[in-house]
Amino acid sequence: MHNHTLKQLSSLLHSKQLSATELAQHYLARITSSTLNAFTHVEPDLTLQQAALADQRLASGDTTALTGIPIAHKDIFVTRNWRSTAGSRMLENYVSPFDATVVEHFNAAGMVTLGKLNCDEFAMGSSNENSYFGPVKNPWDLRAIPGGSSGGSAAAIAARLTPAATGTDTGGSIRQPAAFCGVTGIKPTYGSVSRYGMIAFASSLDQGGPIAQNAEDCGLLLNAMIGFDPKDSTSVERAKEDFNRDLSKSLNGLRIGVPREFFGAGLAADVEVAVRAALADYEKLGAILVDISLPKTELSIPVYYVIAPAEASSNLERFDGVRYGHRAADYKDLADMYKKTRAEGFGEEVKRRILVGSYVLSHGYYDAYYLQAQKIRRLIAQDFQTAFTQCDVIMGPVAPTVAWDLGDKSDDPVANYLADIYTLSTSLAGLPGMSIPCGFGQGEKNARRPVGLQLIGNYFSEAKLLNVAHQYQLATDWHQKTPE
């Protein structure tokens, strides 16, 4: 049952061969027996209440394609009844009085919430080792990281603890864990998914998206997830669309841009082999490979790690121990309470980024760092627009290597940052991007660690990306492989 796609589960539910309650119970049992640390909070009684309501809707015919299907939410989306912690001690026991807009959309579709998924603290990290609740383990190899910050989401999909999950992508945090866990994830165009109720990291970069087994599942989730939200000032007002409408289109004549900067020094040989093989498969499907250049790629890391910490520094000012969240037990005065609360509540990586962000926004450095970074960000976006005059979609690796071992880069934050080299530029430009499984690493250690192929499209081209991914998944079976 847990290996079924969303389309298959929907068919079983609507034909009354399976009830939403039975399905929820099945996944709750799998979650209970899991040792991956993928979930931060599960409330079986609440889940079964939602399942019972879904069964009532299924009986009455008041349904959508997703009614009765379980879903789990990255613990960066606030939810009523379930804790919303952002993976931080600062919000360890916080329960929101409202649902994030994304959660509301899925509730309205009749989906059943299984619980909240572990993530790097305030979504800051590439390995899911920064969570206050401990690291998530990669189900393909328990010694390995699952990727971050949506590591709990990707690991839960790979281990079949949930058929659908939400994630957020600020600099690659849907695509990279999807790649490391051998599942499919998509980051839509910035502004497509409401950020209302998404605990903010970097407001000009954060974007929600789905993680699932395959591209068709992601399209079904996007259909419910995307929509204009007047409560979010960055939400884009566009007509609703069916993101799976083009899945069956042929790829004959599709121009695939292959950036030479994605295949230079630093790319592991086994990752390149898998990605090149996937590109060859696309040629067999009728696509044409086009050599392109994204010359500002190497600048994406310094630009991102100026802009994102600056916005994080501003967004995290609200956590002061006064209104909600953690408060230090012993303090002398208000200033001392602020200092001790934030020192106790935030982890090391969050503190590091707050310090960097405060520095680049400070008097005398704003023009030298933050303003210059924003100018280069515009140049990065222009590089993509130039590239899209030569191709329809861009492809390359998601990350330079397969997943590394837990603890390998804990003492070297810069090494963690460098792992985002191929995903950051897409986020800085606000473009849609996705990861699909395309193979495994090589050698005794890496042979069971997945490799992801990155697809990047022009603005609002999610339907095209899903078509391109789906046709590849019809021709290959990487997305159907599961951990032992």
- The set of catalytic residues is 74, 149, 173
CA pair distance 206, 227, nearest whole angstrom: 16
CA angle 78-81-84, nearest 5°? 30
Sheet holding 208-212, edge to edge: 39-41, 112-117, 70-74, 165-168, 208-212, 184-187, 433-440, 450-456, 393-397, 255-259, 288-292
Structural tokens at position 74? 């990255």
Judge residue 154's burial from the number of C-beta atoms within 10 Å of its C-beta, 0-12 exposed, 13-18 middle, 19 or more buried. buried
Please name which of 184, 183, 176, 30 lies closest in space to residue 115, comparing C-alpha atoms. Answer: 30
The dihedral sign for the CA sequence 266, 268, 273, 275: negative
Asked if 460 contacts 241 with a C-beta cutoff of 8 angstroms, the reply is no
Check residue 438 and give left, alpha or beta (phi > 0: left; psi -120 to 50: alpha).
Answer: alpha
Asked if 54 contacts 68 with a C-beta cutoff of 8 angstroms, the reply is yes
CA angle 331-78-183, nearest 5°? 120
Asked if 250 contacts 426 with a C-beta cutoff of 8 angstroms, the reply is no
Structural tokens at position 181? 């866990």
CA pair distance 168, 149, nearest whole angstrom: 8
CA pair distance 343, 345, nearest whole angstrom: 6
Measured CA distances, 154 to 15, 73, 176, 411 (Å) = 29, 11, 9, 24
Helix, strand, coil shares of the chain as percentages rounded to 5?
Answer: 40, 15, 45
CA pair distance 4, 10, nearest whole angstrom: 10
What stretch of H or E contains 259? strand 255-259
Structural tokens at position 191? 């502004």
Please name which of 268, 233, 256, 297 lies closest in space to residue 428, comparing C-alpha atoms. Answer: 297
DSSP-derived secondary structure for 137-194: PBTTBTTB---SSSHHHHHHHHTTS-S-EEEE-SSSTTHHHHHHHT-EEEEPPTTSS-
